[in-house]
C-alpha cells in the first residue's frame, strides 16, 4: 500500500517517496459513491454470493429503491489501525473517486438538504402522521423544474409530462410507512 502525495505519486508529509507494506491479516473497505462513506468489513475469500457481511452492508445502500454503486478494496489491518494511515487512505480513496457534485456545485448538497427540510415542514404541518398522509404523492407535491420555456426552446418535452416523477413525499418519513404497506399488500413480507 503506497501513500500518495498531491501529484499522485507515493510520498510522505515532506514529499519524499514512501512505500508501506502490510502483509498480515486484511480487512475490506466498502466505498459507496452515493453516500460517500467508507465501511470496514471482515476479510472474505470465496464466492461473493456467500458473503453475508457484504450483503448486509450493501443492503442499506439504496435510495428510492435504486441500489447505490461503489467499490470494495482490501487493506492490511495493521496499516488501517494506525490513524495517520487511515486518514491518508480515506483521503486517497476520495481523491481518486472525486468529491462528487459538491466539487462542481458547492451548494449541491445544501440544495438536496432543502428537499428534506421542506418535506419535514410538510410532515409537521400535517401533525406528523404515522399511518400515511392525506396528500401523499398528490400532484401538488410533485417536484417539477421550472424550465418549461428553456426545454421548449431546445425542443425537449415539458418536464410536467416526463415519465420521471419525483415528489416532495419521497423525502418524508411517511414514505417508509407507505412503502412498507405497499410491500405487505404485494406479499413481499412473510
**Separation in Å, CA 73 to CA 22, 42, 43, 76, 164:** 14, 11, 10, 10, 34
Q: How is the chain split into domains, by residue range?
A: 26-99, 108-185
Higher pLDDT, 25 or 159: 25
Encode pLDDT of 123-181 as tens digits: 999 998 888 898 899 999 987 776 677 768 878 777 777 766 778 888 899 998 888 88
Residue identified by cell 457484504 is 54
Q: How confident is the model at residue 116 (pLDDT cuts 50, 70, 90)?
A: confident
Encode pLDDT of 74-86 as tens digits: 888 888 888 888 8
- If DSSP codes are grouped into helix, strand and coil, which group holds residue 149? helix
pLDDT at 32 over 90: no
What is the model's pLDDT at position 187?
A: 92
Geometric angle at alpha carbon 58, from 52 and 63, rounded to 5°: 150
Cα gap 71→79, rounded to integer Å: 20
Mean pLDDT of 65-81: 85
CB–CB of 28/76 below 8 Å?
no
Q: How confident is the model at residue 7 (pLDDT cuts 50, 70, 90)?
A: very low
Higher pLDDT, 59 or 177: 177
Q: What pairing do the DSSP bridges indicate for beta strands 70-76 and 62-63?
A: unpaired
Q: What is the DSSP letter of 139?
A: G
- In terms of Cα–Cα distance, which of 156, 157, 160 is closest to 143? 160
- To the question of pTM greater than 0.75 for the whole model, the response is no
Cα gap 116→173, rounded to integer Å: 9
What is the model's pLDDT at position 122?
A: 93
Higher pLDDT, 98 or 11: 98
**Which CB contacts under 8 angstroms, 24+ apart, belong to 131-137?**
131/177, 132/174, 132/177, 132/178, 132/181, 133/169, 133/172, 133/174, 133/178, 136/169, 136/174, 136/175, 136/178, 137/167, 137/169
Q: Mean pLDDT across the chain, nearest whole number?
A: 76
Mean pLDDT of 13-17: 51
Amino acid at each position: 500500500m503506497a501513500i500518495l502525495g498531491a501529484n499522485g505519486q507515493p510520498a510522505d508529509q515532506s514529499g519524499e517517496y514512501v512505500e508501506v507494506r502490510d502483509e498480515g491479516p486484511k480487512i475490506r473497505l466498502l466505498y459507496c459513491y452515493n453516500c460517500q462513506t467508507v465501511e470496514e468489513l471482515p476479510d472474505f475469500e470465496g464466492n461473493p454470493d456467500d458473503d453475508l457481511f457484504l450483503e448486509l452492508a450493501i443492503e442499506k445502500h439504496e435510495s428510492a429503491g435504486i441500489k447505490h454503486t461503489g467499490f470494495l478494496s482490501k487493506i492490511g489491518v495493521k496499516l488501517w489501525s494506525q490513524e495517520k494511515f487511515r486518514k491518508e487512505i480515506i483521503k486517497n480513496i476520495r481523491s481518486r473517486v472525486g468529491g462528487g457534485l459538491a466539487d462542481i456545485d458547492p451548494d449541491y448538497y445544501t440544495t438536496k438538504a432543502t428537499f428534506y427540510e421542506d418535506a419535514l415542514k410538510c410532515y409537521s404541518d400535517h401533525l406528523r402522521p404515522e399511518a400515511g398522509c392525506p396528500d401523499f404523492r398528490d400532484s401538488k407535491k410533485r417536484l417539477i423544474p421550472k424550465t418549461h420555456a428553456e426545454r421548449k426552446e431546445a425542443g425537449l418535452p415539458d418536464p410536467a409530462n416526463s415519465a420521471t416523477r419525483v415528489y416532495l413525499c419521497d423525502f418524508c418519513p411517511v414514505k417508509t410507512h407507505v412503502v412498507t404497506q405497499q410491500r405487505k399488500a404485494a406479499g413481499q413480507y412473510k
